[in-house]
Each structure stands twice: as structure tokens, then as C-alpha cells.
Amino acid sequence: MKSIKVLGTGCPKCRQTEAIVRQAVDELGVEATIEKVEDIMQIMAYNILSTPAVVIDEEVKIKGRVPAAGEIKSLLSQERSIP
């Protein structure tokens, strides 16, 4: 099961990123836990200076911008194909 975190303090772009991530996970049928992290200290622990950010299995994949749904799907598909 994938662990996905959306890092952001609750701004519109952060909420949009969370919605895109949830949509991509649903469309792919990936088993994943999605967590929205809004605590600034937790966000800083990932060395993120600008939000939103997407963390998949504790690895920062996207930071400082809203990703496209296709980009999230691509990242999740790549992750599934690695043994």
C-alpha cells in the first residue's frame, strides 16, 4: 500500500493538489493512504520551502506547484512497476 502525503497549510493550491491526488488514486485503483499535512513543523521536516508538495512513500516527488492528474498517475504507475 502506498503512503501519500500532501504537504500544505490549507491554501487553495494545497486543497486543489489534495483533490488531484485523490482523483488520480481513485482512477488508478491504487491502494493508498492519503494524508493532508498542514503542520508547518512537519512540513519543514521534509525540507520543503514552498507548498504544495507531494510525498510518496516518504520521498518528495513534487514541490512548490500544483501537479497535473496525469503527472500523479505517472508517478504512481512508475512506483507500482518497480519490484
43: amino acid identity, one letter: I
**Catalytic residues, which ones?**
11, 14
* Residue with cell string 505517472: 74
Strand partners, 60: 55
Distance CA 22, CA 3 (A): 12
